[in-house]
Amino acid sequence: MPVHYTELGLVNTKELFQKANEGKYAIPGFNFNNMEQLQAIIMACVECNSPVILQISKGARQYANQTLLRYMVPGAVQMAREMGSNIPIVLNLDHGDSFELCKSCIDNGFSNVMIDGSHLPYEENVALTRKVVEYAHDHGVTVEGELGVLAGIEEHVVAERSHYTRPEEVEDFVARTGVDSLAISIGTSHGAYKFKLKPGEPFPELRFDILEEVQRRLPGFPIVLHGASSVLQEYVDIINKYGGKLENTAGVPEDQIRKAIQLGVRKVNIDSDGRLVFTAMVRKYLAEHPEEFDPRKYLGPAREELKKMYIEKCKLLGSAGKA
Ligand code: G3H
Ligand code: 13P
Ligand code: ZN
């Protein structure tokens, strides 16, 4: 049965980005695949009074079942309200890859969809994005597009294969597609292996010159930074201490996230840091309590630690206190 996002207590991104522009902060885009992640995100954003964009990828839909996820979200909204909070909550399809997928999400209560045509030739990206925007806007749903290719969606793919966003294409793309926000490629990539660093080598600078040029051409237009996990070393260390094997991981330093926000980034996507926290805490708990087999015992502490991490992210992004 089709449902409109307003019936689920959700909002689109329009007003959130307007306020974020005025206040020069970014809204978190946090991915989730299961109940504990969703609880942690909501509890964190309620506690620090931050607006939030909940993100479901195609893979998450396949993993958790699209119908179940769709029913979990109004539950999460209701939970926030019962906690006495009125934080704005957006439900976003992350990296939608076809019109049909975006349409299905719009028909099933999503309030924002990302259509990622970044791998397509430019004109095909424009045409696909335009088609999604037309359907979405008819339903009051906002749309994120993407220009420029981030290196590998899969982990272990290093950043060399990205191609950066060309600022000269941005105005044309936004004008012809009507997108409400735009993901750009300035050197980040997805996963826990964003940069290939030798020991002691400093983190490379993101291409802030591209962001500056985009801002010059489209002042105030909401820009989205994907692949923005910092790959928090303390959790990588816990994972490795308790039997894991994550080597040569590297993420985006926090000062570079702050700088990107100063230069117009209004949405920051974080998934991998949540995965690392979750895995670290589960590994630690099970290693320290080999007799335990009740999932609540090891998922509970993971959820609690995740919540703390999300609060820190909201503070970093400046969205804490802005709901
Ligand atoms: O962009 C990638 C997100 O982290 C989602 O990842 O496709 O493995 O769910 P996923
Ligand atoms: P990370 O892998 O850096 O967390 O990026 C997540 C993302 O961009 C989701 O779309
Ligand atoms: Zn992404």
CA 195 to ligand 2 center in whole angstroms: 14
CA 96 to ligand 2 center in whole angstroms: 14
* Closest by CA position to 239, among listed 295, 192, 284, 305: 284
Active-site residue (options: 94, 116, 271, 273) = 94
Atom 5 of ligand 1, residue of closest alpha carbon: 57
CATH 3.60.15.10 for domain 5-317: no
CA 192 to ligand 2 center in whole angstroms: 9
Cα–Cα–Cα angle for 20, 50, 89, rounded to 5 degrees: 90
Atom 4 of ligand 1, residue of closest alpha carbon: 271
| Residue 273 known to be catalytic | no
CA-57 nearest atom, ligand 1: 9
CA-57 nearest atom, ligand 2: 10
* Closest by CA position to 147, among listed 94, 219, 226: 226
Helix, strand, coil share (%) of the chain residues, nearest 5? 50, 15, 35
| Per-residue model confidence (pLDDT) at position 162 | 64
pLDDT per residue of the chain (323 residues) written in tens, 0 to 9 = 899 999 999 999 999 999 999 999 999 999 999 999 999 999 999 999 999 999 999 999 999 999 999 899 999 999 999 999 999 999 999 999 999 999 999 999 999 999 999 999 999 999 999 999 999 999 999 999 999 988 754 333 444 556 899 999 999 999 999 999 999 999 999 999 988 777 778 888 999 999 999 999 999 999 999 999 999 999 999 999 999 999 989 999 999 999 999 999 999 999 999 999 999 999 999 999 999 999 999 999 999 999 999 999 999 999 999 99
Does residue 290 sit in helix, strand or coil? coil
| Per-residue model confidence (pLDDT) at position 152 | 55
Half-sphere exposure of 58 (CA within 13 A, CB side): 13
94 ligand 2 Cβ < 6 A: yes
Residue 250 CA to chain centroid, in angstroms? 18
d(C-alpha 160, C-alpha 187), whole Å: 9
Bridge partners of 90, per DSSP, are: 53
Mutational pocket test of ligand 1: of 271, 273, 279, the residue with most ligand atoms within 8 Å of the beta carbon: 271
d(C-alpha 119, C-alpha 125), whole Å: 8
37 ligand 1 Cβ < 6 A: no
Q: Counting beta carbons within 10 angstroms of the beta carbon of residue 293, is it exposed (0 to 12), middle (13 to 18) or buried (19 or more)?
A: exposed
CA 212 to ligand 2 center in whole angstroms: 22
